[in-house]
């Protein structure tokens, strides 16, 4: 499966953005999808994940502490897309955001077999 993240841009502190991770070449139903972010000079940080939703499985969601209560991950199986709704954005959320897919959720970017290109989010006044 190939992944493409989009939806980034410039937003003021306190604002919102919704990122999309579109899958092609395979159904995202059968993968866990993780969202990561990276700032220059640092490793990818795992911020959210939604587990497998094939065969009607409800899927579990996970968030790193710094985004809990502000970010929401969801999946639209009909569109083969996973979203990351980001609210109450802070300057420290500025990063390149990328999505990845594998059989289960993990916080280590290198463990995902399928990794997409990122989209830049800039939070600044």
Pairing label, strands 17-24, 81-86:
antiparallel
Question: How much is the pLDDT for 29?
Answer: 87
- pLDDT tens string 55-111: 767 789 999 999 999 999 999 989 999 999 999 999 999 999 999 999 999 999 999
Question: Coil, helix or strand for 122?
Answer: strand
Q: Report the pLDDT averaged over residues 2-7.
A: 97
Backbone angles phi, psi at 29, to 5 degrees: -50, -35
Q: Cα–Cα distance between 17 and 105 in angstroms, integer? A: 23
Local confidence band at 120 (pLDDT 50, 70, 90 cut-offs): very high
């Amino acid at each position: 499966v190939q992944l493409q993240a989009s939806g980034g841009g410039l937003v003021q502190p306190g604002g919102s953005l919704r990122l999309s991770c579109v899958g092609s070449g395979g159904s995202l139903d059968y993968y866990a999808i993780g969202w990561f972010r990276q700032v220059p000079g640092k490793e990818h940080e795992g911020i959210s994940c939604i587990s497998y939703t094939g065969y009607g499985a409800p899927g579990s969601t996970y968030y790193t502490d710094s985004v809990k209560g502000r970010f929401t991950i969801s999946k639209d199986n009909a569109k083969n897309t996973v979203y990351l709704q980001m609210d109450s954005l802070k300057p420290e959320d500025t990063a390149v955001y990328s999505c990845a897919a594998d059989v289960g959720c993990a916080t280590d970017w290198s463990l995902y077999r399928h990794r997409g290109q990122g989209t830049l989010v800039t939070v600044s006044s």
